[in-house]
Amino acid sequence: AQSVTQLDSQVPVFEEAPVELRCNYSSSVSVYLFWYVQYPNQGLQLLLKYLSGSTLVKGINGFEAEFNKSQTSFHLRKPSVHISDTAEYFCAVSDGWDDYKLSFGAGTTVTVRA
């Protein structure tokens, strides 16, 4: 089974500044990658996913992520954050085309300050 490491547990950031959340996974022949966001008191919702094709993936709310196979990473970025981006972010990995199970990282809490 895959293991997923999110390298930062807490990321404080000022409004309108850029943010990067780091995610590394254990190596596999094929891998499918996801970023989910959890706003306070809510369930998780999908931000973006990489299944194949272009290594730069764009998601909702201005987020994007880059798949780097050689570094087994899938870092999430946003060039300018808003107060409303305050949330917990989870990286998740599936290692089979028909494997519906996801392995999640421990999460990164982003706190955006004015």
Partner 1 sequence: DVKVTQSSRYLVKRTGEKVFLECVQDMDHENMFWYRQDPGLGLRLIYFSYDVKMKEKGDIPEGYSVSREKKERFSLILESASTNQTSMYLCASSPGGAGGPYEQYFGPGTRLTVT
What does the binding site for partner 1 look like in residue numbers (CB under 8 A)? 1, 4, 6, 9, 32, 34, 36, 41-46, 49, 51, 90, 92, 94, 96-102, 104-107
For partner 1, the closer CB: 7 or 44: 44
Query: Are 30 and 97 spatial neighbours (Cβ–Cβ below 8 Å)?
Result: yes
Question: Quick one: which of 74, 66, 65, 58 has its CA closest to 25?
Answer: 74
Question: Quick one: which of 31, 17, 18 has its CA closest to 74?
Answer: 31
Q: How far is CA 32 from the centre of its chain?
A: 12
For partner 1, the closer CB: 29 or 98: 98
The DSSP 8-state label assigned to residue 30 in this structure reads S
For partner 1, the closer CB: 49 or 77: 49
We find the least distance from the C-beta atom of residue 48 to partner 1, in angstroms, to be 10
Query: Are 95 and 1 spatial neighbours (Cβ–Cβ below 8 Å)?
Result: yes
We find the least distance from the C-beta atom of residue 85 to partner 1, in angstroms, to be 19
Give CA–CA dist 76/80, Å, rounded: 13
We find the least distance from the C-beta atom of residue 89 to partner 1, in angstroms, to be 11
For partner 1, the closer CB: 66 or 104: 104
We find the least distance from the C-beta atom of residue 28 to partner 1, in angstroms, to be 13
